[in-house]
Copies of this chain bind each other. A is one copy, B any other.
Amino acid sequence: MIDFQPSFDGARVLITGGLGFIGSNLARRLAGLGAEITLVDSLIPDYGGNLFNIQGFEKRIQVNISDVRDSHSMQHHVRDKDYLFNLAGQTSHLDSMVNPVADLEINCLAQLSILEACRTCNPEIKIIFASTRQIYGRPSFLPVTEAHPLSPVDINGINKMAAEKYHLLYSDVYGMNATALRLTNTIGPRMRIKDARQTFVGIWIRQLLEGKPIQVWGGKQLRDFTDIEDAVDAFLAVAESPLTKGQAYNLGGSEVIALADLAKLMVEMNDGGDLAVCDFPADRRAIDIGDYYADFSKIRSDLGWTPKRRLPETIQSTLTYYREFLGHYL
């Protein structure tokens, strides 16, 4: 277990998308490590931001409600910070097809504004960008390494790919200190469960706790899952290491599982429930990526990061959380 206290005690941290799933878990952990934290979040209704996510931490975390497209707000906030965890984003693949321009504004345009703000106001800041496995598209080999070709199958994937490349370009050309983490499905407390916009596991949790059958599309697709606490470990490890400048790293999970088996495991751990396997809707099938699981040997080799939580443990902690707090997430 890495001791993150020396790196983050007293560190000045900015988290965009900080009221969202990963942002809020990261903020809570960083608060415990003694960091001075500012969150920026737009609270756009269909996105992941939720003030309840920082309940109990209100006095230790500075919250600024603004949109990352607001370049003046961002210019103000990036000054005098040591770290920027850049997590703001539109995450829904389907929404990106319905409204590609909004996806572009948030996932590309705002990212360029943030990078320009850092370059002009605080070029020394360490930036950790939340990228996604979606940029690979349909895997041509498994497990997927960072060298896999980037062939995204939806607008969201194309725009996230561009945004990741902006970050690494600013590192390369201007000598700035940026790193990208290519996330796979991340799950745990505080994820969006109202619908499938953040991860399909969210809506599954909701269906299970509301006594409805879990709707599984297809079901044979293989996937990997990162526990939120493991993801937070990865963000902190990448932030504190000088090795990570200009690099992109895959995260992965402790096991690979077919979606129907995941649904069964969730039903089992809930001591009740049901699942219904059905065909893909046409609009989803067109942008589905099939099987995916990551090779995470690069971050293991550079930083010693591995997923520590097993999937049943993750599901258990997630179910426990939402049994208690379901009403705050609907």
Residues of A in contact with B (beta carbons under 8 Å apart): 97, 100-101, 104-105, 108-109, 112-113, 116, 149-150, 152-155, 158-159, 161-162, 165-166, 169, 172-173, 286-287
The closest CB in chain B to the CB of A175 belongs to B286
For A162, give its contact among B153, B162, B172, B173 (CB under 8 Å).
B162
Other-chain residue from B101, B150, B155 in contact with A169 (beta carbon distance below 8 A):
B155
Contacts of A161 in B (CB 8 A): 162, 165
Structural contact, B149 and A165, CB atoms closer than 8 A: no
A228 to chain B, nearest CB (A): 30
Are B97 and A101 in contact (CB-based, < 8 A)?
Answer: no
Instruction: Flag if A173 contacts B97 (CB, 8 Å).
Output: yes
> How far is A158 from B104 in the complex, measured between Cα atoms in Å?
13
Q: How far is the CB of A142 from chain B (nearest CB, A)?
A: 19
Complex contacts, A97 vs chain B, CB 8 Å: 173
> Which one, B109, B149, B155, B286, contacts A104 given CB within 8 A?
B109
A286, B109: Cβ atoms closer than 8 Å? no
Taken together as a complex, chains A and B put the C-alpha atoms of A154 and B101 apart, in Å, by 22
Q: Are A158 and B162 in contact (CB under 8 A)?
A: yes
Inter-chain contact B108/A112, CB cutoff 8 Å: no
Q: Complex: how many Å from CA A105 to CA B109? A: 8
A-B contact list, 18 entries, CB within 8 Å: A101-B116, A104-B108, A105-B109, A108-B108, A109-B109, A112-B155, A152-B169, A153-B169, A153-B173, A154-B173, A155-B169, A158-B165, A158-B166, A158-B169, A162-B162, A172-B286, A173-B286, A173-B287
- Say whether B101 contacts A112, CB under 8 Å: yes
Chain B residues, Cβ within 8 Å of A116: 100-101
Closest to A71 in B: B101
- A173 — nearest CB in chain B belongs to which residue? B286
How near does chain B come to A285, taking the closest CB pair, in angstroms?
10
Contact of A100 among B112, B155, B172 (CB under 8 A): B112
Q: In the complex, what residues of B have CB within 8 A of residue A149's CB?
A: 149-150
